[in-house]
Amino acid sequence: MSEQQAPAQTAGSAMSPSVASVPSPAPGAAAGTSSGPLPAEVAAALKRDAAGLVAAVVQQYDTNEVLMLGWMDDEALHRTMTTGRVTFYSRSRQEYWRKGDTSGHVQWVKSVAMDCDGDALLVRVDQVGAACHTGTRTCFDGRDLDVTTGQAH
């Protein structure tokens, strides 16, 4: 399940194409602290959770298939918007990661949209291979829940 990690960036540094593990943010720095500049209007409109993160729904651009849900801070969003590859922030490992760095199942960014409240992102991608760490195309395969809709059939 392990995906190789994107490199840490310091203020003013250039994006590096190399891949390395990234530790958690420095003590006192929120996960949402960006070393890469987000456009001011994007940064102002984002509504982050207490950890500085926003949910990112990943969707196949040409079929609208929902592939997965990940989390981004400002830096992960900046990297996603500027590198052509989706970068997430791992809540459990406290580090950045890119889908496909070890598996080859890359997500090529086609577009990024913010919802009306600014608390969720829709990242439309061209998914190469499986999106889920289990090896399935989508993380939403085979786990349908029983629901009662209250509508007559």
pLDDT attached to residue 144: 85
Instruction: Let me know if residue 116 belongs to a domain.
Output: yes
Question: Could you give the number of structural domains in the chain?
Answer: 1
How confident is the model at residue 153, as a pLDDT? 61
Query: For residue 86, is it within any domain?
Result: yes
Does some domain include residue 141? no
What is the structure's pLDDT at 60? Answer: 98
The pLDDT, as a whole number, for residue 13 is 34
In a domain, 20, yes or no: no
Return d(Cα 123, Cα 126) in angstroms, integer: 10
Q: What is the pLDDT of residue 36?
A: 61
The conformation of residue 147, written as its DSSP 8-state character, comes to -
CA 54 to chain centre: 9
pLDDT at 141 (0 to 100): 87
Residues in a beta bridge with 123 = 58, 112
Q: Indicate which CATH number applies to the domain containing 90.
A: 3.10.20.810
- pLDDT tens over the chain, length 153 residues: 444 443 333 333 333 322 333 333 433 334 444 456 899 999 999 999 999 999 999 999 999 999 999 999 999 999 999 999 999 999 999 999 999 999 999 999 999 999 999 999 999 999 999 999 999 999 998 778 888 887 766
The residue to which tokens 């949910």 are assigned: 55
User: What pLDDT shows up at residue 37?
Assistant: 83
Q: Measure Cα distances from 150 to 69, 122, 132, 145, 147 in Å.
A: 28, 29, 32, 15, 9
> Is residue 60 a part of any domain in this protein?
yes
Q: Note the pLDDT of residue 132.
A: 93
CA distance 149 to 117: 26
Residue 96: which domain range?
Answer: 49-127
Closest CA to 86 of 58, 61, 47, 114: 58
Residue 58 pLDDT:
98
